[in-house]
Amino acid sequence: MSSENLPSKVILITGCSSGFGRLTAETLARQGHCVYAGVRDPEGRNSTIAGELQYLAVGENLDLHVVDLDVTQSESIDAVVGSVTHRQGRIDVLVNNAGVMNVGITEAYTAEQVRRQMEVNFLGPVQLDRAVIPWMRRQQSGLLVHVSSLAGRLVFPYFGIYCASKFALEAIAESYRYELSDQGVDSVIVEPGPFGTSLIAGSPKPGDTERLAEYGDVAQFPDNMLASFETFYESDDAVDPQVVADDIVRLVEMSREARPLRTVSGLDYGVRELNTRMEPIQRGLLEALGLEGLDPVS
């Protein structure tokens, strides 16, 4: 992959303390882009990670900057977007990557846990999109990248709350694809398959233990399923998470006319076929509403 002759873009990425976010930040910076890597609490619990990113930037002479960003706090979002635009005068790409994953008996998650899941995976991107879109509109150019999941298209038992957050994210991202099409702003979705990142390891357990107890032996099913995933991640069939970062880089550097709405990264459990089958149905809906001109690649 080469960025030769491609202009450098100012890119803000959320959730860069690990996984896809960190890989994407490093890869885009190495491609010559100006990258602001959002890390929550970079001077506290994530200070080691922030230091590693800063060391990499100095050692490889990368235009890579760590910013303190909590996607659940509007003040944090406004401060970071304000700082980046003050320094650079623009934001060309936003990568909504930060996420958490609740895996367990759905009923046993408390309302507060459900709210937290939605705050990070859905409301955070909504607020970030709203913060950067005015800048992109003034530029008449910009790209919103939403890192979703196969669980944004398929329902995995015991991933119910996580699926709900990603289904919601996909809906808002696709709506923006159409509504912003005449403003020069594009919106796309990346759907990673199963990868051995820290999402599963950091999955919070259901907080309502009384509800959980009512499921008896079934309450162990989610843990057994997660154990099978971990075994898969350690096998030769596991896919390198770098493929997600590479897919995001391609979307960033692709022309708007060629850029697909959805990109599946890694194993897909049939989601690529699902997306292909859904395209003409969605296009037919737009045509029925007299809005077919809102799809930039149709």
Catalytic residues: 17, 148, 162, 166
Residue 174, number of CB atoms within 10 A of its CB: 17
| Cβ-based neighbour number of residue 245 at 10 Å | 24
DSSP 69: -
Q: 60-82 burial, b for 16+ CB within 10 Å, e for fewer?
A: eebebbbbbbbbbeeebbeebbe
Extract the tokens encoding 139: 């530029």
> DSSP alpha helices (H): ranges in 40-148?
47-59, 74-88, 111-118, 124-139
Q: With contact defined as beta carbons under 8 Å apart, do 177 and 251 qualify? A: no
- Report yes or no: 258 and 298 within 8 Å, Cβ to Cβ: no
CA pair distance 129, 152, nearest whole angstrom: 19
Chain centroid to Cα 92, Å, comes to 16
Neighbour count for residue 108 (Cβ, 10 Å) = 20
Q: How far is the C-alpha of 251 from the C-alpha of 261, rounded, in Å?
A: 10
Measured distance CA(5)–CA(290) in Å, rounded: 39
